[in-house]
Amino acid sequence: MSSLLDDVDRRTQMVGQNRLELLLFTLGSRQLFAINVFKVREVITCPALNRLPSAHSIIRGVATLRGKTVSVVDLAQALGMPPIPSREGGSFVILTEFNRSVQGLLVASVDRIINLNWDQIHPPPRGTHKDSFLTAVTQVDNRLVEIIDVEKVLEMITGPARDVSDSLLSNIQEGGRVRRALVADDSAVARRQIVRALTQMGVESVVVNDGRQALDKLLELAAQGPIEQQIGLVISDIEMPEMDGYTLSSTIRKEPALSRLHVVLHSSLSGTFNETLVRRAGADRFLPKFSPDELAEVVLGYLQGDDAAQ
């Protein structure tokens, strides 16, 4: 199964092409679920798991994988479904990296990897408890594929992100650029984290759910007057339905009315993207999720006119 991930370099070249690859899997029924391949380190058959009596109920146990102790989360149980049998060799663990940490996701079976355009990815329908853990949906061979908001699953375990430190907040200065940021992210958890940090800094947020909405909103504001007088900077996720963050950034650079906007790309895909890829898309900075203080340093540094933050 690890051979599925041997061509990560090729996938990296899709950056800026508004494309992604999804790893499809099941959680005990015929329904297909997915996560982005960029978040996957390896897929293995389920090893023996050691139970942790004091752990959160969705953590099925821990395993030593590649010399590191990793918590294994039952995705089905997190979504309110019956737990997946974790018998050794009878299920799979998707080893992932999110928000600077490595964890295993217990799934019933692994289907395949598919290659799609981001405009084939759509916001999920709302109405059930499970839907609140979805970040998007798509269709594959006339079957619905539900893309899981893993950040929301992990928040069940770790709790909300911490606040911006008092030492940074005490150094906020008056003046500088307009203190209003456009925030684009398809994860409800990520949006809430970013908006909370910005609010603590005294920065107003204009919030949208994907790159297409972000572009439409920016063009709408630009039609009303100079965009620099309305938006101080853009903070965008990379992975979003309809239009990804790289395509949003490169499109902003091509639009005369928007081209001078400062763009920060913000992603849970820590360790995968580098400054070369960020610059290729026309973005100014990249930040892995989620450190409120790192976000604060970049946002306040730029809005207060610190050239080092630009």
Same domain, 146 and 283: no
Query: Lowest mean pLDDT: which of 54-68, 190-204, 270-284?
Result: 270-284
Same domain, 58 and 94: yes
Same domain, 137 and 205: no
pLDDT averaged over every residue in the chain: 84
Predicted confidence at residue 8, as pLDDT, reads: 39
| HSE-CB of 202 using CA atoms within 13 angstroms | 15
Same domain, 124 and 27: yes
Predicted confidence at residue 182, as pLDDT, reads: 98
Q: In this structure, is residue 106 part of a structural domain?
A: yes
Examine the fold and report which residue of 156, 191, 215 is the final residue of a domain before the chain moves on. 156
Same domain, 152 and 172: no
Average pLDDT score over residue span 8-31 = 72
Same domain, 140 and 197: no
The pLDDT of residue 179 is above 60: yes
CA distance 173 to 169: 9
The DSSP bridge pattern shows strands 59-65 and 68-74 to be antiparallel
Predicted confidence at residue 135, as pLDDT, reads: 84
CA distance 12 to 293: 28
Domain of 250 in residue numbering reads as: 166-309
Share of the chain above pLDDT 90, in %: 42
Same domain, 185 and 290: yes
Which tens digit of pLDDT belongs to each residue from 214-243?
Answer: 999 999 999 999 999 999 999 999 888 788
Examine the fold and report which residue of 100, 121, 156 is the final residue of a domain before the chain moves on. 156
For residue 117, what is the domain's CATH number? 2.40.50.180
Same domain, 44 and 137: yes
Examine the fold and report which residue of 156, 189, 206 is the final residue of a domain before the chain moves on. 156
For the chain, how many structural domains are there in total? 2
For residue 197, what is the domain's CATH number? 3.40.50.2300
Predicted confidence at residue 90, as pLDDT, reads: 77
The pLDDT of residue 199 is above 50: yes
Predicted confidence at residue 18, as pLDDT, reads: 67
Average pLDDT score over residue span 15-36 = 84
Short-list 54, 99, 46, CA closest to 74:
46
The two tokens of residue 242 are 């309809």
When mean pLDDT is compared over 123-132, 235-244, 254-263, the highest value belongs to: 254-263
Predicted confidence at residue 158, as pLDDT, reads: 75
What DSSP string runs through 40-104?
EEEEEE----B--TTS-TTEEEEEEETTEEEEEEEHHHHTTSPPPP--TTSSEEEEEEETTEEEE
Alpha-carbon distances, residue 113 vs 1, 38, 40, 43, 271 (angstroms): 11, 11, 11, 12, 21
Higher pLDDT, 282 or 154: 282
Q: In this structure, is residue 32 part of a structural domain?
A: yes
Q: How confident is the model at residue 1 (pLDDT cuts 50, 70, 90)?
A: very low
Q: How confident is the model at residue 87 (pLDDT cuts 50, 70, 90)?
A: low
Higher pLDDT, 56 or 297: 297
Predicted confidence at residue 183, as pLDDT, reads: 97
Q: In this structure, is residue 161 part of a structural domain?
A: no
Q: In this structure, is residue 22 part of a structural domain?
A: yes
Same domain, 51 and 180: no
Same domain, 139 and 99: yes
Share of the chain above pLDDT 70, in %: 85
Predicted confidence at residue 7, as pLDDT, reads: 42
Same domain, 126 and 194: no
Same domain, 283 and 251: yes
Whether 69 contacts 303, CB under 8 Å: no
Q: In this structure, is residue 216 part of a structural domain?
A: yes
The two tokens of residue 161 are 């992100």
